[in-house]
Chain A
Amino acid sequence: MTAPTPSVDHAALKSGGIIMQKDDDFFAIRLRLPGGCIASDLLPKIDEVARKYGRGEVRLTARQGIEIPWIKFGEIEAARKNLAEAGLALGPCGPRFRTVTACPGLPVCRRALADSQSFAHRIDRKFGGLQLPHKFKATVSACPNACSRPLENEIGFCGNAEPLLYADACMGCGLCVDICREKALVLQDGKPLLDRNQCVHCADCMQSCPTDAWKTEKKGYAVYAGGKNGRHPAPGEKIADFVDEEQGMMIIARCLDFYRQHGNKRERLYDLICRVGMDEFKAAVLQ
């Protein structure tokens, strides 16, 4: 007698998040956790599913996610429903817009210039899981230290701020000059002088100033496009500076339009940009 065919939600299966293991009787379930953040009261649910359907094992992914391996084919649907009831969705895999990663950002990190978590969640809500020619990764970092690796994603955001000196408030202590890792500042006539070509907009000078003499002239996100890692890594290229969230969302939307229109199946954004040229890509995306 053959076992009854287990019920499987094929639409759910297709949307990704279920990954066949080396032994094809077993699958790993990937959770959708934008920014790698999860309410701690959901951890017992993950524990419960991992012990009930898997082998009591969870794995942290390279993109801040959690996967539960060793789920039998016939139990995928039950495990998925169990997680869904607690509000835990499955994370996209395959040729899709992947779960958006992010650094801790404001208000947690002392260096942060932006709320990278909330922007990452916003991007994920709007674009996460969309079907595309190939995998598409996006991330948000809250400052130029780039902890979430914006240059290694198809689209990477990097919070930044341009400093402006209010000389009257400066007492000439020179701390910002010593702090600046880019050597973009020198003391001249007892006040710091900024070389804008050296400045990477990290705001270390503003944050170090004991008299708040450095103010923010403009701030937002630098945008990098076309980066990837893997077997042929390539860094993304900066395509815009000081954009706000609205402009960032627009840039992603146009980028995806361009990618869907011109990208070949299984062609990464990097390869598409190499093929058609950065100028054409930028013209379409930045308009």
Chain B
Amino acid sequence: MTEKLDLRGEVCPYTFVKTKLRLEELEGGQDLIILLDDPAATANVSRSLRSEGHEILDLKALSDEVWQIVVKK
């Protein structure tokens, strides 16, 4: 099952910290959907995920105010 993490309303660096904590709970190979409301936070989180070796499966704007990252642990 794909886990979901809603980070709308959160700011850096909590977006990254909460993503990291949630990923720690997941098994390797599991997917996580992350929702954010800010492009800069989206860029920061995706950059951090990649530098930690996770794979970004998809990244897109769902609307003017919502960005979604799909990451594989």
Q: Which residues of A contact B (CB under 8 A)?
A: 110, 171, 173-175, 178-179, 204, 207-208, 210-211
Q: Which of B3-11, B19-27, B39-47 contacts its partner?
A: B39-47
Pick the residue among B40, B44, B61 that contacts A174 (CB under 8 A): B61
CA gap between A131 and B22 in the complex, in Å: 59
Pick the residue among A110, A178, A207, A211 that contacts B39 (CB under 8 A): A178
CA gap between A207 and B59 in the complex, in Å: 15
Closest chain A residue to B40, Cβ basis? A179
Residues of B contacting A178 in the complex (Cβ-Cβ under 8 angstroms): 39, 61
In contact, B47 and A208 (Cβ under 8 angstroms) = yes
CA gap between A174 and B69 in the complex, in Å: 13
Closest chain A residue to B56, Cβ basis? A210
CA gap between A110 and B43 in the complex, in Å: 12
29 A-B residue contacts at CB 8 Å? A110-B44, A171-B59, A173-B59, A173-B60, A173-B61, A174-B60, A174-B61, A175-B39, A175-B42, A175-B43, A175-B46, A175-B59, A178-B39, A179-B39, A179-B40, A179-B43, A204-B43, A207-B43, A208-B39, A208-B40, A208-B42, A208-B43, A208-B46, A208-B47, A210-B46, A210-B50, A210-B56, A210-B59, A210-B69
A170 to chain B: closest CB distance in Å? 12
Closest chain A residue to B12, Cβ basis? A110
Chain A proximity mask over B44-55: 1 for CB below 8 Å, otherwise 0: 101100100000
Residues of A contacting B56 in the complex (Cβ-Cβ under 8 angstroms): 210-211
Identify the 4 closest CB pairs spanning chains A and B, nearest first.
A208-B43, A178-B39, A210-B59, A210-B46
Closest chain B residue to A211, Cβ basis? B56
A253 to chain B: closest CB distance in Å? 38
Query: What is the size, in residues, of chain B's interface with A at 8 Å between Cβ atoms?
Result: 14
Seed contacts A175-B42, A210-B46, A211-B56; 12 additional CB < 8 Å A-B pairs: A173-B61, A174-B60, A175-B39, A175-B43, A175-B46, A175-B61, A178-B39, A179-B43, A208-B39, A208-B43, A210-B56, A210-B59
Q: Which of A171, A173, A207, A211 has the most CB of B within 10 A?
A: A173
B72 to chain A: closest CB distance in Å? 13
Closest chain A residue to B61, Cβ basis? A174
Q: Which of B39, B61, B69 has the most CB of A within 10 A?
A: B39
Residues of A contacting B40 in the complex (Cβ-Cβ under 8 angstroms): 179, 208
B41 to chain A: closest CB distance in Å? 10
Q: Which of B47, B50, B59, B67 has the most CB of A within 10 A?
A: B59
Residues of B contacting A179 in the complex (Cβ-Cβ under 8 angstroms): 39-40, 43
* CB neighbors of A among B55-71 (8 A): 56, 59-61, 67, 69
